[in-house]
Amino acid sequence: MSHYARQEDIALLDLESLDGRRTYGEDHEWGLLLRERETGRVTGVEVWRASERLPPELLAALPEPRTSETGVEPQSA
């Protein structure tokens, strides 16, 4: 689920809800591009320093993350 962790200033924009074990993150200067392991399809975007990069109206519309939500596992080499 898309959310904005205000304290960490990280926004997750979920394009397709997938289990975190099925995705990996590609590091970029601005955050992570989230991809499905099997197909490489983009499933979401994690934006770091979101308050500097995204419109305030978008951030205000995003909920805080649920405590049960987990992060994306790093890609295996």
**More confidently predicted of 2 and 70:** 2
34 belongs to a structural domain: yes
The number of domains in the chain is 1
Indicate whether 77 pLDDT > 60.
no
In a domain, 70, yes or no: no
Do the domain assignments include residue 52?
yes
**pLDDT, average across residues 28-36:** 96
Model pLDDT, residue 70: 45
Q: Is 49 left (phi over 0), alpha (psi -120 to 50) or beta?
A: left
**pTM of structure:** 0.79
Q: For residue 5, what pLDDT is reported?
A: 96
In a domain, 71, yes or no: no
pLDDT band at 68 (very low <50, low <70, confident <90, very high): low
Is residue 76 included in any domain, yes or no? no
Query: The tokens of 2 are what?
Result: 């898309």
Parent domain of 23: 3-61
